A and B are shown apart, each in its own frame.
Chain A
Amino acid sequence: MKLQHTMTAVTVLAATLALIATGPRAEPAQDDQLVINGEEEVPTQAPAPAHLDGALGDTIYSGWLFRDPDTRAMQKDDFDNPMFLFVDAGIETWNTPDGTEGKSCADCHNAIEDSMKGVRAALPKVTEKGELWSLENFVNDCRTNRMGAEAWGWNSQEMKNMTAAIGLQSRGMPVAVAIDGEAAPFWEKGKEMYYTRYGQLEMSCANCHEDNYGNYIRSDHLSQGQINGFPLYRLKDQGAVSTHQRFVGCVRDTRGVPFEAGSQEFRELELYVASRGLGLPVETPAVRH
């Protein structure tokens, strides 16, 4: 009798889940707005950049719109957003001397709110030496060449703390990477990667994030795979995730061999993916599940 009860409950639960899963879909949330701390409105959609030539329709959408209401709510309040622990740690490091020169970031750059405003929105970019650099490269360049300190690992906690703290200074500013001039050859390579079908499952980024955004792959609601919120907090990992870390995960899931975080290839891909979000406001540090 008891067993039968449980069985019925399980069946009902399964039926309910099935109902949820087959309900109306293909929608980014239309009835919610990202207003942070009750005051700062961050638009989560923008007109699609011209270079996409309609590949994503008229509008580009933040990944925030594809997450469930609870996850969306966490990003609306900096006290609920677990990334702010890391932002605080990053700001503390900003002010702390390190390395043989005994200098802190603040000694040269002063207040992070002023000197780093808008920096993240325009990265990756081509340096004077003609190399394509992500934010992590700039941070490590200062540490090794200007402070006499050790480089941080690309996906180390220290690095994510700092990129979150710097990224926050661009929150609300539209993604504005350059894709022409010296950046063009890197951008082209990134674009080619985006449409390459990797791994045993033979899937490209575009197969999931262009052809199928708004659809469900099993229980995952596919977004456009925008990177305007990185580094972000992933509830599933209970930690901060960098842009390249996410790329690694997505290629691995095709039964493929990803490129290394920080590699030339992933920086090119980062530039291209960033350009698919041109005009979309930076949301760093976002929350996802």
Chain B
Amino acid sequence: MHRILALTIVVAGFGLPAMAEIAPEDVPWSEDGSVAESLTGTPGNPDEGKVIMTTNALGNCVACHAIEAMPDVPFQGDIAPQLDGAGDRWTEAQLRGIVIDAKRTFPESFMPGMYKVGPFIRPGVAYTAKPPEKPEDIKPILSAQQVEDVVAYLMTLSE
């Protein structure tokens, strides 16, 4: 609500059209699975990123990853590497690529693509177990701006 208000003011104030978002199909991949360009042109908000990463219905990164920098989040998973220090190990472009579709960086990875709409085998509409009526019914797990927010938070994870 706050954000929408702020955005409206900015747009109204400067009369600039919001930059077009990059759609999941149009992500400009590098060979190595990184994505240099921001998906939205709007800098990510690390505080939002943190919320997204710990919310079941959103990124739910803590289902698999432990993050010591979030000691207040209970029941962190132990399936994947701890994310502390990710900002040192990877560049922003690499992290963006990992969050969008980790399989471009780690082939066969268990990590789901967060900004990906296919091709999938028997995809359902979210957790309804229902097939999509039209292709647009399969929405990426995170929005373009949510990806940027998560990347911004990951960049703060340095040791």
A, B from the same assembly:
yes
Count of A-B contacts judged by CB separation below 8 Å: 95
B110 touches A211 (CB 8 A): yes
Interface 0/1 of A86-101, CB less than 8 Å to B: 0000000000000000
Query: How extensive is the interface on chain A, given as a class?
Result: 20 to 34
Which A residues touch B112, using CB under 8 A? 200-203
Which A residues touch B73, using CB under 8 A? 18
B75 touches A219 (CB 8 A): yes
Report B119 CB to chain A, min CB distance, Å: 10
Indicate which residue in A199, A211, A215, A258 contacts B77 across the interface (CB closer than 8 Å). A215
A202 touches B120 (CB 8 A): yes
- Measured CA separation A279–B100 after assembly (Å): 43
Indicate whether A109 reaches chain B with its CB closer than 8 angstroms. Answer: no
Report B17 CB to chain A, min CB distance, Å: 31
- Measured CA separation A219–B60 after assembly (Å): 12
Indicate whether B63 reaches chain A with its CB closer than 8 angstroms. Answer: yes
Chain B interface, DSSP helix/strand/loop, else mixed = loop
A residues lining the B interface (CB < 8 Å)? 11, 14-15, 17-18, 21-22, 25-26, 196-203, 207, 211-212, 215-219, 248, 251-253, 255-258
Indicate whether B6 reaches chain A with its CB closer than 8 angstroms. Answer: no
Taking A203-B112, A218-B63 as contacts, is the C-beta distance between A257 and B122 under 8 angstroms?
Answer: yes
Interface residues of B in 104-147 (CB under 8 A from A): 110, 112-113, 116, 120-124, 126-131, 138, 141
A199 touches B79 (CB 8 A): no
Interface 0/1 of B70-107, CB less than 8 Å to A: 01111111110000000000000000000000010000
Q: Supply 28 A–B pairs (Cβ within 8 Å), ascending by A.
A: A11-B72, A15-B71, A17-B74, A18-B73, A21-B75, A25-B78, A196-B121, A197-B121, A198-B122, A199-B121, A199-B124, A200-B116, A200-B123, A200-B124, A202-B112, A202-B113, A212-B79, A216-B75, A217-B63, A217-B77, A219-B75, A251-B129, A252-B124, A252-B127, A252-B128, A253-B127, A256-B129, A257-B122
